[in-house]
Structure 1
Amino acid sequence: MPLTALQEICDLALPRSCAGCGEQRVAFCTQCRAELEDAVTAEPFEATPTPCPPGFPVTWSQAPYDGAIAELLRAFKDSGRGDAGPHLARLLRSALAGLLEAEDSCRRELALGGQLLVVPMPSRSTSTRARGREPTVELGRRAVDRSRRLVLRRVLRVARSGRDQAGLSAHERSVNLRGAMRLTGTGRTLVPGRVCVVIDDIVTTGSSLVEARATLLAAGAIEVLAATVAATQRRGT
């Protein structure tokens, strides 16, 4: 049995604490569940970092990166709380739905009977080894589950590690990520001529999405958009 599935079973059977606020003896407390439901039923929105970096793709998000949503994301990514995955995937699915409804290129591609290529933001190999999993891929699989219009594939990889992004300014993140991504072997076959939607957990400075977009366009994608669970604005450089 995969580690993630086993962890989710353990979390359901023996909840440690609320993944959103830390309340003991519940996996997900009433207050955090209500906050999540409010976020799921809210209208998705076009997210734009401040300042907005050149080359930033049209990006739709479902929730502000704050409160229980931020805690759930941190718990899911860094504390092994796989049980938060289904809840966060609902937010990502809603953001994707907003993107598909709003953007002409998506509607046109789907009207012609095509599929949108959903591209998880790649993680550094060190992060993947430390976590033993790829959180963005997990969220993406749940978000596009059973959809005939969306096909999820790992087509991007991190070619060089660079510095840890934590604590870097928007400009430093941009420089750190420049040229950091490459296509996988699968990507070289799948990307040309496709409309691609990059998915990620949050958008902060937008540097990662800029680099992903540039890499996919250089490989022949006809358009690159993005969807995230949450968005935050970061002021200053």
Structure 2
Amino acid sequence: MLKTSGKSRTAGQPPVQQSPVYLGIRSAILGHSITPGTKLPEDELGDIYSVSRTVVRAALQALALDHIVSLEPNRGAFVAKPTRLEAREVFEARSLLEPKVAAMAAEIAKPADIALLERHMEEEHAAVAAGKDGEAVHLSGQFHVAIAEIANHSIYTDFVRRLCSRSSLIVALYWRRRDTICEHHAHHELVKAIAQHKPKDAAELMVSHIVDLFSGLDLSEREPVGKKLSDILKV
């Protein structure tokens, strides 16, 4: 098996990806506070965050590289709106990549890693119980990224992070049932397999889990209802 250095990419992220503008917009989008297709005017965002349009533009460009924002010539920036084809492709990619990642995590997971995953599950479960579905979807994505980080493969982790971010937009657009949010028992079984160092079981559970998530989507177009940016991005 190929080995990696194990060094996290997070520590080497460009400053723009640690800025309040980037983090605030990203969190609002992935938490479903800002809906797909919403326009993101540079001047309004600059007023909200009390920064220049140059700073806002840099954040939007970074978000575009993450496929969270779409930059359209002569029109500006919009929250990305994945097509039905993109939705299928994203979940197909996840079904190929994440089982491998889960198996790798199961081979080397330490007690501290399992404790981290359990905390993720508790936070996600609390969000679901409180009816905070957007937050629960975001936390679910973080859970999957955490598994990739445990696998200690920086390239896979980067791919999983980007795929989970795009999945959040897909759920916002095409969600048809509430249990599309990662079910608590599905994550529990995954953590159990990883904790018991059972790579094959972890991989099989991840495949089943992602297929179930995909089955909860309605890939017919519908328009989400948005809110004012100034009401969402309060700082």
Q: TM-score scaled by structure 1?
A: 0.25
Compare relative contact order (CA 8 Å, sep 6+) and give the higher one, 1 or 2. Answer: 2
More strand by share: 1
Q: TM-score scaled by structure 2?
A: 0.25
